[in-house]
Amino acid sequence: MSKKTLQPPRGTRDFYPEDLRLREWLFSHFRAVARRFAFEEVDAPVVEHAELFMRKAGEEIVDQLYHFELHGRHLALRPEMTPSVARMVMARAGALRFPLRWFTLTQNWRYERMTRGRKREHYQWNLDIYGEPGVSAEAELIAALLQLLDAVGLAPDDVKVRINSRALLEEALRHGVLRERPDVFEPLCVVIDKLDKIGPDKVTEMLVDPEGGVGLDAADAAQVVEMLKARSLEEAAAHAPEGSPALAELRRLFGLLEAYGVADRVLFDASVVRGLAYYTGVVFEAFDTGGTLRAICGGGRYDGLIETLGGPAIPAVGLGFGDVVILELLADKGLTPKLRRELDDVVYPFGENERPAAIAVTDRLRREGRAVELILGSPKLKRVMADSDRSGARQVWLLGPDEVGRGVAKVRDLGSGEEREEPLPG
Ligand code: HAM
């Protein structure tokens, strides 16, 4: 076997115990915040019919699909969770009580060009609300993601959530640029999403390119790019039609976020449109204020997705929050927690004669729910003590011939250094 084959494939990760401790620490915060916001966990297969993820708007995510033919079926590893969740909601739409709140915590696969914070597998926490058409749902999601950032130790100023509305952009364009061609709105958003990465000139070029799926004339393309510069609702209002419902929704959302006490952590940004085709309304992304990383998380309203799958019209809004970028940000800020093994007791028989007594002690402690390492083999006491200390164990049970003869064990408390004797079981 070649050396390369013995490495995990590029862009994927092995998780050693210390890596997994960190991952579980993050997941425990994801779950705790989901619980506080009354979301229920669901899950779906990692392999789905590839068609579920195929869309025609030119999204990167479709080109990045890990997919394969097997026994005449075209299957794919999920690149994201949203289509699977939508499929699940659709299957039981008649029986579910709306609005519903579901969360998922899953590994997703995308064959990405690798850059900082971008891997070929990542874990993603998703929060989705189905059946609520109003922005009170968006406000809940944004409040939840901010609570997550607080829970992992970031300061309010470390991250800002940038909010926009695709509906606002669509309204503004419907009377001009898109009057004749409303169908190019989705591919147009996919192109605009690249603004941060490739800059306004290249975006304009792509909007004009007759082969690019949008095909605007140069003046229209320039107007679109100009509109993306708005950084306040007042600036956005200049492009919006009279009495714009989308603008009114955004105003309502910012008002609600004030009630959550997070007004200073959110801002309007017309350049945020998101790279997935299915969004229809409010969209948002959280960024580190240092500006060194890609989006920490993102989401938005996607009221049409279930219909495109052939189901009823059910309003939906959600977010996806990956494990990679947030852990990079915490590392940059020196906030990665130092997590030790969770061990309560170490039980050390001095020799094989003492092992039956050590097993009895271990068994009792484990049945009490404690995490216990029964020392295997016959390492030296010094090594056992050093390892116990390093692993964060609370106490070490020492069973020498003398103690066992007297029906006791010597118990050393590693916190205080004190020793006491405890009777052995029965
Ligand atoms: P997304 O923006 O593609 O949205 O991904 C959401 C988050 O997942 C990103 O902000 C990032 O933290 C993480 N992520 C995505 N791709 C990668 C990657 N290659 N490597 C590391 N992290 C990554 C969605 O997936 C939507 N389905 C979210 C959603 C849920 N919208 C509504 N409901």
3-state secondary structure 299-339: EEECCCHHHHCCCCCCCEEEEEEECHHHHHHHHHCCCCCCC
Domain spanning 345-423: CATH superfamily: Anticodon-binding domain (3.40.50.800)
Query: Are the C-beta atoms of residues 51 and 67 closer than 8 Å to each other?
Result: no
Angle, vertex CA 334, rays to CA 328 and CA 340, nearest 5: 90
Q: Is the pLDDT of residue 70 over 90?
A: yes
In this structure, of 168-182, 188-202, 284-298, the range with the lowest mean pLDDT score is: 168-182
Better-predicted residue by pLDDT, 218 or 36: 36
Over residues 340-356, the mean pLDDT reads 96
Pocket test for ligand 1, best of 116, 118, 124 (most atoms within 8 A of CB): 124
Q: What is the pLDDT of residue 175?
A: 77
Give 10-332's CATH code, choosing from 2.60.450.10, 3.40.50.2000, 1.10.1060.10, 3.30.930.10: 3.30.930.10
Q: pTM for the complete prediction?
A: 0.96
Max Cα separation, the chain? 94
Q: What residue segments make up the domains of the chain, in order of their start?
A: 10-332, 345-423
| Mean of pLDDT over the chain | 96
Cα of 262 vs centre of ligand 1, distance in Å, is: 23
Question: What proportion of the chain, given as a percentage, has pLDDT over 90?
Answer: 91
Distance 367 CA to ligand 1 centre (A): 42
Which secondary-structure segment (H or E) carries 205? helix 195-208
pLDDT of residue 212: 86
Which tens digit of pLDDT belongs to each residue from 1-18? 888 889 999 999 999 999
**CATH topology identical between 10-332 and 345-423:** no
> What share of the chain has pLDDT > 70, as a percent?
100
197 Cα–ligand 1 center, Å: 16
pLDDT at position 179, please? 84
- CA 80 to centroid of ligand 1, rounded, Å: 7
pLDDT digits (tens, 9 = 90+) for 212-225: 889 988 988 999 99
Task: Classify residue 120 by its DSSP letter.
Answer: S
Can you give the pLDDT at residue 177? 80
pLDDT tens per residue across span 134-160: 999 999 999 999 999 999 999 999 999
Distance CA 98, CA 128 (A): 12
pLDDT at res. 178: 86
Cβ–Cβ under 8 Å, residues 393 and 344: yes
Pocket test for ligand 1, best of 10, 13, 39, 80 (most atoms within 8 A of CB): 80
Mean pLDDT of the region 225-242: 94
Q: Give the Å distance between the CA of 125 and the centre of ligand 1.
A: 9
Which ligand 1 atom is the nearest neighbour of the CA of 285? 10
- Residue 277 Cα to ligand 1 midpoint, Å, equals 13
Q: Over the stretch 377-424, which tens digit does the pLDDT of each residue have?
A: 999 999 999 999 999 999 999 999 999 999 999 999 999 999 999 999
**pLDDT score of 2:** 87
pLDDT for 3: 86
Structure letter (DSSP) for residue 291: -
What CA–CA distances, in Å, run from 418 to 54, 104, 413?
A: 64, 46, 5
Token pair belonging to 68: 């394969």
Ligand 1 environment, Cβ below 6 A: 80, 82, 110, 112, 117-119, 122, 124, 126, 128, 276, 295-299, 302, 318-322, 324-325
d(CA 75, CA 43): 18
